[in-house]
């Protein structure tokens, strides 16, 4: 009888132990399927936006010209080179262009799982962190863009995972992984220097049996190796830094509220998208403010739970990931008070550390009361993360990148019936989208005259950059108008480069302005007809 009771108790214990494991596996399985779906499905649905246009143009250049263009820009060259060879294999459709980022977003999932398992160890904590990462809107968003942010985030994740493995058990392959992955991030985006600095801090304070002195030596050796690998680009970087203020004139000075919003977004949520769910019941701004504060409080509670009344080793471990997430944001915020640098999308890499920080209470709390409290908070955060991704999938085109629908704009421009006309792109890089999307209209005559202002985008190499319109540009436009070749000028205006309205005011003198042909988004298409005024 005693043996029977012992056997039953053993089975019940195994069942209790197995239940959390099964729950964890189920959560991870759902997260994998959902994460893959959100990263890959309907990649071509949204039109290319402004920065993706430069990806299209640059990766289509001859190989020998890609690096010189990158030197003239404010970007590192590796992503453009990768896209060039990717395009050779798969073409440059919207799906193909974005598939490279989606691939690295997909590869991030198993790397993050390995990192979370090494750091958190508790199955439920690992499952929650993986869920938050798989449905992180920051990760999903930039896995669906033909830009370098997700690719750089992937290699930063590999470097961070390699560092944790190296500090647990010193090995040559882990050291090489850290060095190569970190060097690749620097060649993918200049802002990754801030994450490399954060990685060095983690190297020094992450709990490990490695003593302080060998850690410092190994960290310095790694940085020297990265420097040697990066040496060919140093001179170009210095040139880019000196020119960045002129190139990023449109970047506003950030406030502390911008920092709070960036930290909140790094947790994987997007409050403006969440606010769409309740827009029928409350004013949108009220919803955004209320949800923003609520999400910050929720994340703060989970953050405190991972740092308060836990062991010294767990506190240091959690603090390392918190620093990796937050330190680059605060450093760029400080620098941006003097130099325009603060763009929220450059902090995509912070979203690889935030899920681990937010899942830490599940790995450190032992009492049932504390576990229950943080379980409720964790489920709430997981639900909000999933909702953000669902709403993003539904309204991606409407809100992403201020609604830049270049596909629709070019379709509108091409279907204007007037033949003796000039299509005027302001800034001139709008011509990229005409070249790209006009191929979708084989039955329409696309041989209309077009130019850019300040000058034609294709007139020189490197091409002209966007800047504020001045009187010299109006004089150039006057030369075109006085040629009397055109009965209509179709103005395609975006990016607020004409805040004083110089172009519209000038054209109003000799042309009759028609109604705007676009009513939403940040791009205006305004036809001006050369007719006598009544």
Look over the chain and give the mean of its residue pLDDT values, rounded to a whole number: 89
Rounded CA separation 416/201 (Å) = 58
Q: What is the pLDDT of residue 291?
A: 87
pLDDT by residue (tens digit) across 235-284?
999 888 877 766 777 788 999 999 999 999 999 888 888 888 877 777 87
Would the pLDDT of 15 be above 70? Answer: no
What's the whole-number mean pLDDT along residues 504-518? 89
Asked if pLDDT for residue 433 goes beyond 90, the answer is: yes
Assign 520 a pLDDT band (cuts: 50, 70, 90). Answer: low
Distance of alpha carbon 509 from alpha carbon 53, whole angstroms: 33
Q: Give me the residues paired with residue 450 across strands.
A: 423
* pLDDT at residue 13, rounded to an integer: 45
Choice between 291 and 200, residue whose per-residue pLDDT is larger: 200
Burial grade of 485 (CB within 10 A; 0-12, 13-18, 19 or more)? exposed
Per-residue pLDDT tens digits for 130-144? 999 999 999 999 999
Question: ω before 61 within 30° of 0 (cis)?
Answer: no
Q: How many CB atoms lie within 10 A of CB 402?
A: 14
pLDDT per position as a tens digit, 163-181? 999 999 999 999 999 999 9
Look up residue 61 and give its two tokens: 């250049």
- Residue 288 is predicted with a pLDDT of 84
In this prediction, residue 370 has a pLDDT band, given cuts at 50, 70 and 90, of: low
Residue 2 scores a pLDDT above 60: no
Instruction: Please write the tens of the pLDDT for every residue from 53-112.
Output: 999 999 999 999 999 999 888 889 999 999 999 999 999 999 999 999 999 999 999 999
Q: Would you put residue 402 in left (φ > 0), alpha (ψ -120 to 50) or beta?
A: left
CA-closest candidate to residue 56, choices 491, 468, 342, 406: 406
Average pLDDT over residues 503-515: 90
234-243: pLDDT as tens digits: 999 988 887 7
228 pLDDT more than 60: yes
Listed residue (98, 101, 136, 105) closest to 350, CA to CA: 136
The DSSP H or E segment spanning 412 is helix 406-414
DSSP label at residue 466: P
Contact 43, 99 (CB under 8 A): yes
Residues in the chain: 534
Residue 270 DSSP one-character state? -
Q: Please give the backbone phi and psi of residue 194, each rounded to the nearest 5 degrees, phi first.
A: -70, -35
Residue 16 confidence (pLDDT): 43
Statement: residue 486 has pLDDT above 60: yes
Count the neighbouring beta carbons within 10 Å of the beta carbon of residue 50.
Answer: 20
The mean pLDDT of 436-455, rounded to a whole number, is 85
pLDDT at 67: 93
- pLDDT for res 534: 46
Joined together, the tokens standing for residue 356 give: 């681990």
DSSP string, 240-254: HHHHHHHHTTTPPPP
Q: Can you list the domains of the chain with their CATH numbers?
A: 20-403 (no CATH), 406-529 (3.40.50)
Look at residue 399 in the predicted model and tell me its pLDDT. Answer: 55
Q: Is pLDDT of 528 > 70? A: yes
403 phi-psi bin (left φ>0, alpha ψ -120 to 50, beta other): left
**Residue 386 confidence class, pLDDT cut points 50, 70, 90:** very high
* Residue 369: pLDDT band with limits 50, 70, 90: low
Report pLDDT digits (tens) over 324-366.
999 999 999 999 988 888 999 999 999 999 999 999 998 876 6
- Per-residue pLDDT at 526: 93
pLDDT above 70 (res 532): no
**pLDDT of 445 strictly over 80:** no
């Amino acid at each position: 009888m005693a043996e029977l009771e012992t056997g039953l108790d053993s089975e019940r214990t195994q069942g209790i132990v197995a239940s959390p494991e099964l729950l964890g596996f189920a959560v991870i399985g759902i997260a994998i399927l959902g994460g893959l779906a959100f990263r890959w499905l309907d990649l071509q649905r949204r039109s290319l936006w402004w920065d993706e246009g430069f990806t299209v143009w640059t990766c289509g250049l001859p190989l020998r010209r890609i690096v010189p263009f990158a030197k003239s820009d404010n970007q590192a060259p590796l992503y453009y080179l990768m896209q060039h060879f990717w395009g050779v294999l798969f073409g440059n459709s919207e799906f193909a262009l974005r598939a490279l980022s989606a691939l690295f977003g997909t590869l991030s999932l198993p790397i993050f799982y390995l990192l979370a398992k090494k750091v958190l160890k508790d199955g439920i904590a690992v499952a929650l962190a993986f869920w938050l990462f798989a449905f992180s809107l920051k990760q999903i968003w930039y896995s669906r863009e033909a830009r370098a942010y997700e690719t750089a985030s992937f290699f930063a994740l590999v470097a961070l995972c390699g560092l944790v493995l190296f500090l647990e058990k010193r090995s040559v392959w882990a050291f090489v992984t850290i060095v190569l992955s970190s060097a690749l991030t620097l060649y993918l985006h200049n802002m990754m220097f801030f994450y490399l600095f954060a990685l060095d801090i983690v190297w020094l304070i992450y709990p490990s049996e490695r003593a302080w002195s060998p850690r410092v030596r190994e960290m310095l050796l790694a940085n020297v190796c990265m420097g040697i690998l990066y040496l060919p680009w140093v001179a170009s970087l210095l040139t880019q830094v000196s020119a960045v203020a002129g190139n990023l004139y449109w970047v506003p000075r950030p406030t502390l509220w911008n920092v709070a919003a960036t930290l909140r977004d790094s947790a994987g949520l997007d409050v403006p998208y969440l606010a769409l769910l309740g827009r029928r019941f409350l004013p949108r701004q009220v919803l955004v403010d209320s949800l923003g504060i609520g999400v910050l409080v929720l994340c703060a509670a989970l953050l405190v739970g991972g740092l308060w009344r836990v062991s010294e080793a767990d506190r240091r471990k959690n603090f390392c990931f918190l620093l990796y997430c937050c330190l680059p944001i605060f450093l760029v915020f400080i620098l941006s008070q003097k130099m325009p640098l603060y763009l929220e999308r450059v902090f995509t890499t912070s979203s690889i550390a935030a899920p681990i920080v937010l899942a830490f209470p599940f790995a450190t709390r032992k009492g049932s009361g504390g576990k229950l409290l943080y379980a409720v908070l964790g489920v709430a955060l997981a639900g909000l993360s999933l909702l953000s991704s669902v709403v993003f999938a539904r309204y991606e085109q409407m809100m992403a990148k201020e609604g830049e629908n270049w596909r629709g704009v070019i379709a509108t421009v091409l279907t204007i019936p007037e033949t003796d006309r000039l299509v005027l792109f302001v800034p001139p890089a709008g011509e990229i989208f005409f070249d790209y999307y006009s191929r979708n209209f084989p039955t329409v005559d696309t041989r209309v005259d077009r130019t850019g202002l300040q000058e034609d985008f294709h007139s020189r190499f490197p091409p002209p950059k966007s800047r504020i319109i001045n009187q010299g540009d109006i004089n150039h436009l006057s030369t075109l108008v006085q040629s009397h070749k055109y009965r209509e000028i179709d103005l395609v205006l975006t990016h607020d480069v004409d805040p004083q309205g110089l172009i519209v005011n000038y054209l109003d003198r000799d042309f009759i302005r028609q109604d705007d042909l676009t009513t939403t988004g940040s791009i205006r298409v305004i036809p001006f007809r050369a007719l006598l005024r009544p």
